[in-house]
Structure 1
Amino acid sequence: MRINHNISALNAWRSMDQVNQSMGKTLERLSSGLRINRAGDDAAGLAISEKMRGQIKGLETAVKNAQDSISLIQTAEGALTETHSILQRMRELSVQAASDTNTDVDRNQIQLELDQLREEIDRISRTTEFNTQKLLDGKIESFRGTEDIKVVTGGNIDLKVVGVGGAFSATLSSTNANGTYTGTYTITPDVEGTYVVEVGQLQGAETSALDVRITQIRADGTASGIATLGAGHVLLTTTLTDSYTLYSAAGVGTTDFAISTVVNLASFTWDSSTFNIDDFGGSLPLNEIVDSAVVRVEATNTAANQLVFQIGANEGHNIVLGIDDMSAGALGLNEKSLKATDQDSAERSIMIVDAAIHKVSTARASLGAAQNRLEHTISNLGVASENLTAAESRIRDADMAKEMMDFTKQQILLQASNAMLAQANTIPQNVLQLLR
Structure 2
Amino acid sequence: MPVISTNTAANTAVRYLNMNSLDQSDSLAKLASGSRINKASDDAAGLAIATKISSDIAALDQAATNSSHGISVLRTADGGAANVADILERMKTLASQSASGTVTDTERAYVQAEFDQLKQEIDGISKSTRYNGVSLLDGKSDFSDDNTYTAATVTGATANATGLTANTSGTIQINGATITLSTTATSMTVADMVTQINAGLTAAGNTSVVASNNSGTLTLTSSAKGADASITIAAGTGTLGLGTVGLTAGTTNGSTTVAATTGADIVVGSSASDTINLVLPTLDTTTLGLSSLNVSSQSGAKAAISALDTAIDKVSNARADMGATMSRFEFRSSQIATSVENLDAAKSAISDVDIAKEQAKLAASKVKVQAAVAAASQANQMPENLLQLMR
TM-score by length of 2: 0.73
- In structure 1, the residue matched to 2:380 is 425
Q: Does 1:20 align with 2:21?
A: yes
Candidates 257, 260, 277, aligned match of 1:277: 257
- In structure 1, the residue matched to 2:287 is 330
Letter of the 2:89 partner, please give it: Q
CA distance in 2, matches of 1:30, 1:416: 23
> 1:66-81 alignment to 2 at 5 Å?
66-81=67-82
3-state secondary structure, aligned to 1:315: coil
- The answer as to whether partners of 2:98 and 2:295 remain within 8 angstroms in 1 is yes
Letter of the 1:368 partner, please give it: G
Using the TM superposition, give the Cα deviation of residue 422 of structure 1 relative to its aligned residue in structure 2, in angstroms.
2.0
- The answer as to whether partners of 1:184 and 1:257 remain within 8 angstroms in 2 is no
CA distance in 2, matches of 1:419, 1:276: 95
> 1:221-236 alignment to 2 at 5 Å?
none
Letter of the 1:142 partner, please give it: D
- In structure 1, the residue matched to 2:194 is 155
Letter of the 2:117 partner, please give it: Q
- The answer as to whether partners of 2:81 and 2:319 remain within 8 angstroms in 1 is yes
CA distance in 1, matches of 2:334, 2:312: 33
Residues 192-238 of structure 1 deviation map (CA, whole Å, 9 limit, x = unaligned): xxx987xxxxxxxxxxxxxxxxxxxxxxxxxxxxxxxxxxxxxxxxx
Higher strand share: 1
- In structure 1, the residue matched to 2:7 is 6
- In structure 2, the residue matched to 1:352 is 307
- In structure 2, the residue matched to 1:411 is 366
> 1:103-118 alignment to 2 at 5 Å?
103-118=104-119
Letter of the 1:257 partner, please give it: T
- Higher gyration radius (CA): 2
3-state secondary structure, aligned to 1:258: strand
- In structure 2, the residue matched to 1:321 is 278
Q: Kindly, what percent of the aligned residue pairs are identical?
A: 35
Change in Cα spacing, 1:196 to 1:176, as seen in structure 2 (3 Å) is closer
Candidates 308, 319, 333, aligned match of 1:378: 333
Change in Cα spacing, 1:348 to 1:173, as seen in structure 2 (3 Å) is closer
CA distance in 1, matches of 2:271, 2:17: 50
Letter of the 1:321 partner, please give it: L
Change in Cα spacing, 1:186 to 1:5, as seen in structure 2 (3 Å) is same
- In structure 1, the residue matched to 2:53 is 52
TM-score by length of 1: 0.66
Candidates 251, 262, 268, aligned match of 1:311: 268
CA distance in 1, matches of 2:57, 2:257: 41
Residues 232-288 of structure 1 deviation map (CA, whole Å, 9 limit, x = unaligned): xxxxxxxxxxxxxxxxxxxxxx85532456xxxxxx999xxxx99318xxxxxxxxx
Change in Cα spacing, 1:373 to 1:346, as seen in structure 2 (3 Å) is same
- The answer as to whether partners of 2:230 and 2:253 remain within 8 angstroms in 1 is no
- In structure 1, the residue matched to 2:356 is 401
CA distance in 2, matches of 1:43, 1:389: 19
Q: Does 1:84 align with 2:85?
A: yes
Higher helix share: 2
| Unmatched runs of 5 consecutive residues or more in structure 2 | 149-176, 182-192, 212-218, 237-251
- The answer as to whether partners of 1:187 and 1:278 remain within 8 angstroms in 2 is no
Letter of the 1:410 partner, please give it: S
C-alpha RMSD of the superposition? 3.4
Change in Cα spacing, 1:123 to 1:151, as seen in structure 2 (3 Å) is farther
| Unmatched runs of 5 consecutive residues or more in structure 1 | 159-171, 189-194, 198-253, 262-267, 280-302
- In structure 2, the residue matched to 1:141 is 145
